[in-house]
Amino acid sequence: MAAEPAAETLVVAVFVLNMVLNAAWSALFFGMRRLGLALVDMGALWLSIVAMIVLYMPIDPLAGWLLVPYLAWVSFAFVLNMTMQRLNPASHFLGATQ
């Protein structure tokens, strides 16, 4: 089933947003050590994955279902990121860790 051009544009835009958020998380968490900002980014990443699943299901259900493990992994990584933020109270929520 082919999607409408506007729907295709939305699917591609959400996919590109997902890739940008994914790359940004790595830079924020590992590169800049901004645990709080990385956590905010990961929340947006999680929402973009849910949006991709919702958008892909009508076009290709298999593609939508194949994103579920990615969503599970990002959910687990979110908990790890949140735990690291909580275990480092000396750092500001949006600031760099020492």
Query: Is residue 24 predicted with pLDDT exceeding 90?
Result: yes
- C-alpha distance from residue 23 to each of 6, 19, 86 (Å): 26, 6, 23
What pLDDT does residue 77 have?
96
Phi, psi of 92 (to 5 degrees): -75, 150
pLDDT band at residue 97 under the 50/70/90 scheme: very low
What pLDDT does residue 92 have?
58
Residues 54-66, mean pLDDT to the nearest whole number? 96
Contacts of 70 (CB under 8 A, 6+ apart): 49
84 secondary structure, DSSP code: H
Predicted structure pTM score: 0.85
For the chain, the residue count is: 98
pLDDT band at residue 66 under the 50/70/90 scheme: very high
What pLDDT does residue 88 have?
83
Residues 62-82, mean pLDDT to the nearest whole number? 97
